[in-house]
Structure 1
Amino acid sequence: MGREFLDIFEEWAEEYDNSVTGQDPQYKEVFRDYDIILDEVSANSIGSVLEFGVGTGNLTVKLLERGHHVFGVEPSAAMREITSEKLPEADVVDGDFLHYPNPPFPIHTIVSTYAFHHLTDAEKNQAIRKFSETLAPNGKVVFADTMFETEIAKQQKIDEALALGFHDLADDLKREYYPLIGTMEELFKQNNFDISFKQMNDFVWLIIANYK
């Protein structure tokens, strides 16, 4: 999803479910209300779904429970293996936001959690443009991801992490491409989406973007 971060995904695969359930204190706030966040994404999805960054399949489970037909895309072989063990019926292929096979059915919703920040702003724009080409008429994008209202707010979170000795979290915040909300709004709007935001915890915001 940025393939440049693929090694991190591979290393994190076995521990990911422990992190999202709050067992890693460094990421406890990042994943606070994780189950509620996934519920929000799945509840706002319509029709057939294209899911990017399937990871270990936690959102996929909720989408399937709601009766959605899901086509999953995940660049990490280790993550795909965990998902296939958890959900043998799941349709998950190798790919990322910028390079993915054509789904075998019309897509009404594109979803992702904790993944879009692995793209630079220019790559995000390219991906959103592809979403508009992939979606069926009146389709939508529903993402949950770490975003910040200002650069100052982002730096404050880095400083807080360092003060707590959360060096892995601080390194993540400095290394990856966590966007500003204003940037995300601009990118979606210039690609003909109406967009709204809802804050889910101190790090994560829900995006609902409807294609015009």
Structure 2
Amino acid sequence: MGREFLELFEQWADYYDDTVYGHDEEYKEVFLHYNRILEEVVKRSKGHVVEFGVGTGNLTSKLLDKGLEVTGIEPSSAMRKIANEKLSERVQVLDGDFLSFPEVKSIDTFVSTYAFHHLTDTEKEQAIENYGKSLASGGKIVFADTMYESEEAYERAISDALSKGFLNLATDLKTEYYTTIPILRAILEKHGFQVHFDRCNDFVWILEAEKM
């Protein structure tokens, strides 16, 4: 996770769950079908899972309920505190991010929701290259995140947010590192993954990539 956004998450921790469960009108469409998105990520995961951007532990809890082994990675101390309390020591959430995290062995799946856009495209490629080295054939990356079919679609999303008066959302879209599906596909295929994308709402797609 891009550490330049860390302060945002320190401030957001106490009301993060209110936002993702639809209580913030400005971000309601971003988090539409939130539980369903988490459940779909869980459904596609297997074995020992490393989760990036644990946040308050909502996805983590569902992964554990499925009986998966989970190593949680979260750079925000405020988020980690809430997650560890919520998960009641079912798993320890460790300090780290997409590019820098404690050594973890025998990984079957890397997962994340609503976080990969904190990396630039160059950083995304660095991360994916590293994950490819950690996964055996058949290992997976399952990320749900805001991404776009094209640059034109991305620009339309910003214009639409502005037209609705959603100034915070428009600023987020312009400030953070949202990317396009063609860019992600090229990166993943370059590093030995077969990938497909499934749309979840007007903002979020699930990226499911399998190491060949």
Q: Pick the TM interval, shorter chain.
A: over 0.9
Structure 1 equivalent of residue 73 of structure 2:
73
Letter of the 2:47 partner, please give it.
G
Alpha-carbon distance in 2 for matches of 1:69, 1:40? 17
Q: Is 1:148 aligned to residue 185 of structure 2?
A: no
Q: Is the 8 A contact 2:144 2:206 kept in 1?
A: yes
Alpha-carbon distance in 2 for matches of 1:28, 1:72? 26
Alpha-carbon distance in 1 for matches of 2:7, 2:134? 28
- Superposition pairs of residues 187-198 of structure 1, within 5 angstroms: 187-198=187-198
How many residues are paired up?
Answer: 211
Which TM-score applies when normalising by structure 2? Answer: 0.98
Which consecutive aligned stretches of 4+ in structure 1 deviate over 6 angstroms post-superposition? none
**Gap runs ≥5 in structure 1:** none
Deviation per CA, 1:95-115, whole angstroms, max 9, x where unpaired? Answer: 001101112x41100000001
Q: Is 1:129 aligned to residue 140 of structure 2?
A: no
Q: Is 1:37 aligned to residue 37 of structure 2?
A: yes
Q: Is the 8 A contact 2:136 2:211 kept in 1?
A: no
**Gap runs ≥5 in structure 2:** none
Q: Is the 8 A contact 2:146 2:205 kept in 1?
A: yes
Alpha-carbon distance in 2 for matches of 1:75, 1:157? 28
Alpha-carbon distance in 2 for matches of 1:10, 1:136? 35
When the two chains are superposed, the root-mean-square deviation of aligned CA atoms in Å is: 0.8
- Superposition pairs of residues 94-173 of structure 1, within 5 angstroms: 94-103=95-104, 105-173=105-173
Which TM-score applies when normalising by structure 1? Answer: 0.98
Deviation per CA, 1:137-166, whole angstroms, max 9, x where unpaired? Answer: 421000100001111111111111111111
